A and B are shown apart, each in its own frame.
Chain A
Amino acid sequence: METADALSLPKTHYLNAEYGIRSWLLTTDHKRIAILYLVSITFFFAIGATFAGVIRLELLTPPGDLVSDDTYNKMFTMHGIVMIFLFLIPSIPAVFGNFFVPMMIGARDLAFPKINLLSWYVYVVGAIFTLVAITAGGVDTGWTFYTPFSTVASNTNVLTAAIGVFIAGFSSILTGLNFIVTIHRMRAPGMTWMKMPLFLWSTYATALINVLGTPVLAITLLLVAVERVFHLGVFNPAYGGDPVLFQHLFWFYSHPAVYIMILPSMGVVSELIAAFTRHSIFGYKMVAFSSLAIAVFGFLVWGHHMFVAGISVYSAMIFSILSFLVAIPSAIKVFNWSATLYKGSVSLDAPMLYALGFIGLFTVGGLTGLFLASLGLDVQVHDTYFVIAHFHYIMVGGALMGYLGAIHYWWPKMTGRLYNEIWAKLAALTVFLGFNLTFFPQFILGYLGMPRRYHAYPPEFQALNVLSTAGATVLGIGYLMPLAYLLLSLKFGKIAGPNPWKATGLEWQTPSPPPTFNFDQTPIVTKPPYSYEQQEAELG
């Protein structure tokens, strides 16, 4: 057992191996690129959260009295675009995937380090276009860009925003491509697929979706842009085009996109639960295959966004039944994670709090998805606050909690420092409570009939909206806290050492922070993942 005094930071590691801005902007080290992404997406999270703040403030009172209706429409549009395309989609893969995929498989870098750097630059260019769209007056089409409003009727910066998202999409494609090739070809000797940590399975499944789905979004946005500029008729009914065709093409990507946003978090949760119960995940194979099942089934359900959009009753039924089936692998994961707690050695460190919070909130989000898959019920709740509550439970209660859990778990490895555990636990609790207060009332609002994207609403909806805004304030505080104590830990935090959590996994076999090339020599893997008994035997 190492005491704090015996530990010090390694002399050279990836952060101090080279100095200067050029060494960062021209780096091909996957770890530095991960940090570049971390900084960028945190910036955009702040912007997206600011828009959310305006939305919640406006919704405190029934009339639209804080901002004008055009401004409000831009707020929810840009909140969606920024949070989805510039924060959630990159988040875990671009930060933790980039940092830890090579380390977890025992490699010195990803398969294509220069393409990795390129993917960050592509993200930045896409993000700049989006920022330009925001600052030049905003976009008001909703993040879903439905036609013909977006191609014909909107007089905001649709083109710039569409181009921004189009470009950012290529960043996802390149990252996904890199992960697929890396996982296929660069696993250390002895690391068979069944010896991979579950985070890699989720990352792989996510990469598959990235690679197969994002190009369809790209071509759809390209068509929207071309139609808008040249006044074509591909989606415009006045020229014989079909606005519903846009919806099919858009959702063909955007539904799998939600699995891009949740699968990595699920992978993180698997890692956290294994680490903080100190034994293997129950049903490892089922959890691994369920990630693949989600990726595959996720491509078959896009029509469930269109049950009231004029599709035939029969195709609606097919999409509905498939939507129920896609929920099953997620349920299997939740059961397996819960079962992992049985006979584990459970420790409620901050990352574990986030993991357990994820289980609770994701379960609510997933179950409410069944409400939406239910045809007769979806008619009532489609395009209402019920949908908003559902996807925020998954995206914020699920994906974002997973992201925060990942930050807290791997912070010591990435920075060599430990953060203040008490503040971390407090922040996790604040986030959990604030989140529920914000979004649970919205389920009720939705069934009562409050539509989404509404700037003003009938007075009978006010009480629930006030509750929701109160929760949002608490939630905001919960997000600011980590920003503070994590940054402070860089200067004042205790030295972490190579493996503060005593977890298994190749990433913990390196110093904290790791050297630029991760491993001096390629490790050989002989043990299954999460072999705590062997670890205990070896440590005596």
Chain B
Amino acid sequence: MWPRLFPLFPERASTMAGRVDALYFFLIGVSAFFIVLIASLVVYFTFRYRRRQRDEIGRPVTAGYTLEVVWTVIPVLLTMVMFFWAANVYFSMASPPPDTLDVYVVAKQWMFKFQQPGGQREIDELHVPVGRAVKLTMASEDVIHDLYVPAFRVKADIIPGRYTTMWFTPTKPGSYHFFCAQYCGTRHSGMTGEVIVMEPADYQAWLAGGSGEGSMASAGEKLFQDLGCITCHRPDGQGRGPSLQGLYGHQVQLTSGQAVTADDAYLRTCILTPGGTGVAGYQPIMPSFQGVVSEEQLLQLIEYIKSLASAAAPTTPQGERLGPRPGETHQAQPPQGSTPKTPPAPKKQH
């Protein structure tokens, strides 16, 4: 009865929830101990040593160094226990398991748009199956937002200009609040919704009954053609830009000599930066699509590129020759932004 009437913590509906709560209760226990200790000592001493005569002074007490050391070392040890325990939990939150259900989130003032790989879109509602790890890749169209699901004990800021991720594995079917937890303007407190966790069978049914818009990857393929990407990034590698077959997740050699991994953030940078990212063996002539594609469309393109069949990643340029033709002097071309703009690489959050 009590927990229903006066809940002290939210439902536990994810694999991390129990771990976070355990840490919470440990800290409450330690805190309660010290609060009771200090309060009792203060009350006791105040009573026991109350002033009995006017002008009475306190007795001199020489400070013992032993006592100082003891009450310094013990708190240090206790706090280090807390630190290691909590850091462990945080590290797990930052390490999604393999084979996650990847959902894309685009936040804007004042709503969350969710898109599942199969194309199902939702606004302010997210359907997921129980027992499967879900990884959210999140982007913002305007200011900083945050996705917070108290019942899952997960939270991550959604920062414009980059991708942030978090993951959870729901353990109980049901409907759980989520909130935007980074102040974002007028309707910040209206930017809420529900995560609806379903039994796997129900989830499949929900997927099937979804809108016939097609998967994200197919939307991305359409964009790839409509925007003309296909003219340079030909699958046979004969275009002016590298083929994107099997690119996702593999290393890319840059003109600067650096090698980077072609992940979500890298692809986003390529598409938005004029001249691309300076791939070795290719001219930096890729136009920028900043302002041409929305955050959602970027995610669709990335899903499409992910879906391209794994062939060996191209290591030699098969496109236009670089460098002077016989008889020409070398034209110095400043390599364009030789480090991809991943100031911090997408922080893999819980």
Contacts and interface: CB of A to CB of B under 8 A. Distances in A.
On whether A and B touch (CB less than 8 Å), the answer reads yes
Interface of A: 1, 64, 69-70, 73, 140-142, 146, 148-149, 152-154, 237-238, 240-244, 277-280, 282-286, 307-313, 316-317, 320-321, 324-325, 327-328, 331-332, 334-336, 338-339, 341-348, 356, 359-360, 363-364, 367-368, 370-371, 373-380, 382-384, 444, 447-449, 451-458, 460, 463, 502, 532-533, 535-536
B330 interface: no
B41 to A, nearest CB: 5
B344 A311 contact: yes
Contacts of B46: 341, 346, 348, 356
7 contacts: A69-B188, A282-B61, A379-B155, A383-B181, A384-B148, A447-B9, A460-B7
Contact of A324 (B79, B89, B90): B79
B186 A237 contact: no
A374 B86 contact: yes
B211 to A, nearest CB: 28
Given A279-B57, A356-B42, 18 more contacts: A69-B190, A140-B185, A149-B183, A238-B290, A279-B60, A283-B67, A286-B63, A310-B347, A341-B49, A346-B49, A360-B42, A374-B86, A377-B27, A377-B89, A380-B155, A447-B24, A448-B8, A449-B179
Nearest to B52: A345
Contacts of B20: 376-377, 379-380
A458 B178 CA distance: 11
Contacts of B30: 367, 370
Nearest to A360: B39
Given A279-B58, A317-B87, A338-B42, A451 B159 contact: no
Contacts of B227: none
A92 to B, nearest CB: 22
Q: What are the 10 A-B residue pairs with the smallest beta carbon separation, nearest first? A: A237-B161, A376-B89, A449-B150, A279-B58, A374-B86, A375-B90, A341-B45, A344-B58, A324-B79, A454-B189
B58 A448 contact: no
Q: Is the interface of B mostly helix, strand, loop or mixed?
A: mixed
Given A153-B109, A346-B46, A346-B51, A456 B24 contact: no
Interface residues of B, number: 92
Interface string B74-92: 0110011011011111111
A308 B161 CA distance: 16
A327 B79 contact: yes
A339 B183 contact: no
B162 to A, nearest CB: 7
Interface in B138-183: 142-144, 146, 148, 150-151, 153-157, 159-162, 164, 177, 179-183
B72 interface: yes
A533 B58 CA distance: 8
A342 B8 CA distance: 37
A382 B56 contact: no
B177 A149 contact: no
A310 B159 contact: yes
Nearest to A453: B183
A277 B58 contact: yes
B341 interface: yes
Interface in B30-50: 30-31, 34-35, 38-39, 41-42, 45-46, 49-50
B260 interface: no
Contacts of B177: 449, 458
B185 A374 contact: no
B49 A342 contact: yes
A342 B94 CA distance: 48
B101 interface: no
B98 to A, nearest CB: 18
Given A338-B42, A341-B46, A456-B190, A374 B35 contact: no
Contacts of A342: 45, 49, 61
B79 A345 contact: no
A70 B183 CA distance: 12
B87 A346 contact: no
Nearest to B160: A237
Contacts of A343: 49, 58-59, 61
A202 B205 CA distance: 66
B86 A375 contact: yes
Interface in B4-41: 6-10, 19-20, 23-24, 27, 30-31, 34-35, 38-39, 41
A533 B51 contact: no
B189 A377 contact: no
Interface in B93-111: 93-94, 109
Contact of B181 (A339, A451, A463): A451
B144 A146 contact: yes
A332 B71 contact: yes
Contacts of B83: 320-321, 324, 373-374
A379 B93 contact: yes
Contact of A341 (B6, B42, B68, B189): B42
B24 A332 contact: no
Nearest to A375: B90
B61 A453 contact: no
Contacts of A375: 86-87, 89-90
Nearest to B76: A328
A286 to B, nearest CB: 5
B223 interface: no
Contacts of A364: 31, 35
Contact of A148 (B58, B143, B162): B143
A356 B46 CA distance: 10
B349 A308 contact: yes
B226 interface: no
B184 interface: yes
Contact of A334 (B8, B23, B38): B38
A374 B161 contact: no
Nearest to B163: A310
Contacts of B328: none
Given A146-B144, A237-B162, A308-B349, A328 B79 contact: yes
A424 to B, nearest CB: 17
B154 A379 contact: yes
B240 interface: no
Given A277-B58, A309-B157, A374-B86, A383 B31 contact: no
Interface in B238-264: none
Contacts of B52: 345
A313 B344 contact: no
A376 B57 contact: no
A332 B68 contact: yes
B63 A341 contact: no
Nearest to B28: A371
Interface in B277-307: 290
A26 B192 CA distance: 55
B236 interface: no
A328 B49 contact: no
Contacts of A327: 75, 79
A475 B290 CA distance: 53
A278 B58 contact: yes
Contacts of A237: 159-162
Nearest to B32: A367
Interface string B309-350: 000000000000000000000000000000001011001011
A412 B82 CA distance: 46
B51 A347 contact: yes
Given A153-B109, A308-B157, A370 B90 contact: no
